[in-house]
A and B are shown apart, each in its own frame.
Chain A
Amino acid sequence: MRIFDTIRISATGLTAERLRMDTISSNIANATTTRTEDGGPYRRKVAVFKEDLKTQLDRQTGSSVRPGGVKAVEIVEDESPLRRVYDPSNPDADEQGYVLMPNVNILNEMVDMIVATRAYEANVTAMNASKSMMLKALEIGRR
């Protein structure tokens, strides 16, 4: 539906920020996870986003590229070094008593969370504005 393109674009923004939020939640929840499916401690996950361009002829603008919002490309693991913490009581500690902890920094995650929340709200505002514009357009010819 082309007429709802604007709302759909905002929806892609909402989906993207929600996905970002999911990864942040996962990072915070696993901030001290030392065992994972792949073995080794948890690695911080980052969602990668890309602008979504629709290559479809636009009669209105004459250009062949239409804005289509944002889309998540992939979720990658942060390859930065893991933290080495001295904790001999941990069952995953090595001979020297060091444990490899996830490379999650709670403080960074909290900041990212605020950014994601704000971006989500901005998308909601944009969507509401588009919706009210459409409702206004429906007043055409109303007597």
Chain B
Amino acid sequence: MSSILGADNTYNLLKKALDASSLRQKAISNNVANINTPNYKAKRVVFEEELRKQMTAGGNIRLKLTNDRHIGIQSGSRGVEPRIVEDRTNSMRSDGNNVDIDLEMSNLASNQLLYNTLIQQTNNKISTLRHVIQEGKG
């Protein structure tokens, strides 16, 4: 019961995704702020790709556990942390900066929508659970 919500894999995943989205917002803001800074390299947040890799790996390969305390491959979100990497691709600009303002602006819009959706879904999870706890009276 310690984690009526915490035991929910989807809920944990949503929480992780919220962290990633929040971090991505930071990265985008930083890219926009440094749009005219010479030799600045755009920052990106990697999360979804690695998460997907891990989840499919956990789905296809199952380690046989001979003891309850052995650690198997988790098909959940555990272990994958969103992190910031630098975009090293070359730029067409003469000042060594590779921020593409149009890309950043579209990322900004989609990230905002993603964040809002994630919040909405988390809220749904919470209110569904509350509905159940209150036996449909709440």
Q: Report A's interface with B, CB cutoff 8 A.
A: 5-7, 9-10, 12-13, 16-17, 20, 49-51, 60-63, 67-70, 115-116, 118-119, 122-123, 125-127, 129-130, 132-133, 136-137, 139-143
In Å, the complex CA distance between A137 and B22 comes to 10
Q: Is the CB of B23 within 8 A of A61?
A: yes
CB-CB nearest in chain A for B41: A51
Q: Is the CB of A12 within 8 A of B33?
A: yes
Instruction: List B8-63 residues whose CB lies under 8 Å from chain A.
Output: 19, 22-23, 25-30, 32-38, 40, 43
CB distance from A45 to the nearest CB of B (A): 16
CB distance from A73 to the nearest CB of B (A): 10
In Å, the complex CA distance between A128 and B111 comes to 13
Summed over the interface, the residue pairs from A and B with CB atoms below 8 Å come to a total of: 109
Known: A61-B23, A67-B29. 18 other contacts (CB 8 A): A49-B38, A51-B40, A60-B19, A61-B84, A62-B83, A67-B27, A69-B34, A118-B101, A122-B101, A125-B32, A125-B105, A129-B111, A129-B112, A133-B22, A136-B116, A137-B119, A140-B122, A140-B126
In Å, the complex CA distance between A18 and B8 comes to 48
Size of the B side of the interface (Cβ < 8 Å), in residues, is 36
CB distance from A78 to the nearest CB of B (A): 15
In Å, the complex CA distance between A78 and B74 comes to 59
Known contacts A9-B29, A61-B84, A63-B83; A70 and B127 CB within 8 A of each other: no
Residues of B within 8 A of A20 (CB): 36
What are 20 sample pairs from A and B whose C-beta atoms fall under 8 A apart?
A9-B26, A9-B30, A16-B36, A17-B36, A49-B36, A49-B38, A50-B37, A51-B37, A61-B23, A116-B36, A118-B101, A119-B35, A122-B104, A126-B108, A129-B25, A130-B25, A133-B25, A136-B115, A136-B116, A136-B119
Residues of B within 8 A of A143 (CB): 127
Residues of A within 8 A of B32 (CB): 10, 13, 119, 122-123, 125-126
CB-CB nearest in chain A for B116: A136
Interface majority SS (helix, strand, loop, mixed), chain A: helix
Residues of A within 8 A of B82 (CB): 60-61
Q: Is the CB of B112 within 8 A of A132?
A: yes
CB-CB nearest in chain A for B36: A119
CB-CB nearest in chain B for A130: B25
Residues of B within 8 A of A137 (CB): 115, 119
